[in-house]
């Protein structure tokens, strides 16, 4: 679809072709998709496409569903974290094609799924970078050049992601991000309520090694000021030369069950900025952020009893909770202002419902 409107609100849950329909693979091989691959995607994604399977197929390909609601929830969350690391790269490319929410002559915008890294690395089978050539052919034709990354999202972050059709377009868009001309809005479910409920966190961030029985590295705050222990006055301290300026606007949208739904606007783009500012700056770590819920240890996030009850989870299974951070909206000035909106993924919306975090629909 080529966009023509100057301001577009395009949602990720729009209708897609069924993955069980017959498609011709537009990769170099030119072969048809294997039915087994498509059935596997349908089974693992747990999406609406299950309705395209016959009742016999559902029995054959669906995992056994536990009767215990807690075990059922854990199974669902476990599948979520592994679903797209088990499929063939061509199948991942097809999933990303179905998640394309906008495209024109310069860009393709996708709603990035959970658990898919942008770049490869040790232990990573599938990443977005590796399938960009295949995705370009699926969206265009066999002669299409590979798509190009313009920015990145963390593996566990979902939502709006911009890809460019050419190197020139990619360089132009990267410059827009670098010069802070792109407005980015995220949604996050956090533990606790921020105080005040709306404001700006302006605290530099630096990476440090955590000395513990399991030494590891984390991003953390590097404030320019501290309170004097003698008289309680604010004292300016020497700036950490390795620290990067980090500024995040935040606003409370809803609050319930010892959790909050927050709207966040990162003004800068430091690694893990939103996660660090919420956890260490406001004392409200993101739900499912096991890395930044503690400082000196690597351990699952500790959840309040009311939150566990609403989520139908036990604390011993909290480690399975995914990070609830979603790139909700991105405003891109490309000649005209392109305003792109992606609804949160199903697991995020289910959590909102379970926690009774009500927000008015757009």
H or E stretch at 57: helix 55-61
Burial level of 249, CB count in 10 A (0-12/13-18/19+)? middle
The verdict on whether 154 is a catalytic residue reads yes
3-state SS assignment for residue 191: strand
Catalytic option among 13, 57, 130, 154: 154
Q: Is 318 left (phi over 0), alpha (psi -120 to 50) or beta?
A: alpha
**Distance between CA 53 and CA 51 in Å, rounded?**
5
b/e per residue, 184-198, with b = 16+ CB within 10 A?
bbbbbbbbebbeeee
Residue 245's CB is within 10 A of a number of other CB atoms, namely: 13
Residue 223's CB is within 10 A of a number of other CB atoms, namely: 16
Angle CA 108–110–115, to nearest 5: 140
Cα distances (angstroms) measured from residue 144 to each of 134, 179, 280: 9, 29, 45
For the chain, how many helices (H) and strands (E)? 9, 14
H or E stretch at 89: helix 89-98
Instruction: Measure the CA dihedral 172/178/184/188, to 10°.
Output: 130
Question: Cis before residue 196, ω within 30 degrees of 0?
Answer: yes
Q: DSSP characters for 134-186?
A: HHHHHHS-TTPPPPEE-S---TT-EEEEEEESSHHHHHHHHHHHHTT-SEEEE
Residue numbers annotated as active site: 154
């Amino acid at each position: 679809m080529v966009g023509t409107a100057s301001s577009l609100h395009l949602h990720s849950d729009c209708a897609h072709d069924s993955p069980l329909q017959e498609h011709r693979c537009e990769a170099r091989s030119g072969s048809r998709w294997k039915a087994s691959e498509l059935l596997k995607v349908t089974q693992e994604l747990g999406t609406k496409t299950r309705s395209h399977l016959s009742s016999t197929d559902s029995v054959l390909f669906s995992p056994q569903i536990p009767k215990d609601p807690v075990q059922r929830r854990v199974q669902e969350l476990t599948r979520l974290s592994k679903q797209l690391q088990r499929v063939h790269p061509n199948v991942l490319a097809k999933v990303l094609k179905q998640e394309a929410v906008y495209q024109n002559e310069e860009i393709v915008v996708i709603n990035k799924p959970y658990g898919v890294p942008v770049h490869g690395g040790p232990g990573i089978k599938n990443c977005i970078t590796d399938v960009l050539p295949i995705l370009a052919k699926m969206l265009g034709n066999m002669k299409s050049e590979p798509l190009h990354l313009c920015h990145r999202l963390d593996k566990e972050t979902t939502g709006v992601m911009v890809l460019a059709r050419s190197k020139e377009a990619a360089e132009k868009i990267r410059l827009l991000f670098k010069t802070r001309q792109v407005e980015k809005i995220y949604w996050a479910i956090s533990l606790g309520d921020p105080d005040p409920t709306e404001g700006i966190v302006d605290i530099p961030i630096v990476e440090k090694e955590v000395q513990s029985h399991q030494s590891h590295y984390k991003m953390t705050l590097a404030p320019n000021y501290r309170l004097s222990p003698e008289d309680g006055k604010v004292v300016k301290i020497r700036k950490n030369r390795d620290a990067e300026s980090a500024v995040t606007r935040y606003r409370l949208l809803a609050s319930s069950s010892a959790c909050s739904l927050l709207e966040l606007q990162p003004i800068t783009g430091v690694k893990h900025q939103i996660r660090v500012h919420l956890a260490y700056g406001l004392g409200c770590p993101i739900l499912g952020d096991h890395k930044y819920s503690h400082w000196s240890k690597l351990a699952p996030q500790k959840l309040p009893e009311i939150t566990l009850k609403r989520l139908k989870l036990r604390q011993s299974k909290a480690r399975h909770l995914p990070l609830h951070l979603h790139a909700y909206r991105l405003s891109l000035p490309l000649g005209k202002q392109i305003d792109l909106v992606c609804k949160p993924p199903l697991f995020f919306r289910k959590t909102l419902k379970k926690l009774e975090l009500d927000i008015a629909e757009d």
